[in-house]
Structure 1
Amino acid sequence: MPYNVMVVDDAAMMRLYISSFLKSLPDFKMAAQASNGKEALDKLADLPDLDLILLDIEMPVMDGLEFLRHAKLKTRAKICMLSSVTVAGSPLAAKARELGADGVVAKPSGTVSHDLHEKTGDELAQVMRSLMTAAAA
């Protein structure tokens, strides 16, 4: 049975690219999407079987870091940051980890990365699968 994923990103095109990427992975499916952290928090109560959240940082209303401050109290889903500002070793990546992010992957080409699948797809799929393996252990 595929893992249920929520995609949280304010860019509609990026949500579309991530959705397309998820369709290429038989072990994951998009269960929900949200355009900001507040909308995502509001949806968590209706998603008890959620396994993974792919989360942007820079969003209006409620950003990804603020979402992290609240999410761990509302869901057991693993949370992977997927943002143009979470490059490995960056202060924002470290802050996301400190606030409870389980994984961090940088978008390859900025806020709307049309080349996500080609440039970062293997890394993202590997991180997602390792988070699900860790959750099952």
Structure 2
Amino acid sequence: MPHNVMIVDDAAMMRLYISSFIKGLPDFKVTAQAANGQEALDKLANGAEVDLILLDIEMPVMDGLEFLRHAKLKTRAKICMLSSVAVSGSPHAAKARELGADGVVAKPSGTVSHDLEEKTGDELARTMRALMAA
């Protein structure tokens, strides 16, 4: 049975790219999407069952770091930051880990990374599978 994934990103095009990538992974399926952290918290509160959350950092209303401050009280899902500002070793990545992110993967070419699958796909799939195996 595939793992349920929630995509949280303010860019509709990026949500589409991520969804398309996940469709190619037989062990995952997208079951929820949100345009910001508040919308994601609302969906979790309303019973969205997810195993993994792919979370952007820079979003209006509620950003990814603020979402992390609340998320562990609302869900047992693993949370992987997927952000252009969360490159390995960056202050954003360190803060995300400090606030409870289980994984961090950088978007390869900015806010809307049309090349996500070709440049970061293997790393993202490996991270997703490792988080679900943990």
Secondary structure at 1:72's aligned position in 2? helix
Identity %: 84
Q: Secondary structure at the match of 1:57?
A: coil
Aligned AA for 2:2?
A: P
Which consecutive unaligned segments of at least 5 residues does structure 2 have? none
Letter in 2 for 1:102: D
- Cα deviation, 1:63-96, whole Å, max 9, x if unaligned, reads 0000000000000000000000000000000000
User: Is residue 2:50 matched to residue 1:50?
Assistant: yes
What letter is aligned with 2:4? N
**8 Å contact from structure 1 (residues 81, 96) kept in 2:** yes
User: What code does the residue aligned with 1:126 have?
Assistant: R
Question: What's the CA shift for 1:48?
Answer: 5.3
TM-score by length of 2: 0.98
Q: What amino acid is the match of 1:108?
A: P
One-letter code aligned to 2:3: Y
User: How many residues are matched?
Assistant: 134
Query: Structure 1 regions of 5+ residues with no counterpart?
Result: none
Residue matched to 1:118 = 118
Tell me, what secondary structure is at the counterpart of 1:109? coil
Normalising by structure 1, we get a TM-score of 0.96
Structure 2 counterpart of 1:99: 99
Alpha-carbon offset, residue 114 of structure 1: 0.1
* Structure 1 residue aligned with 2:71: 71
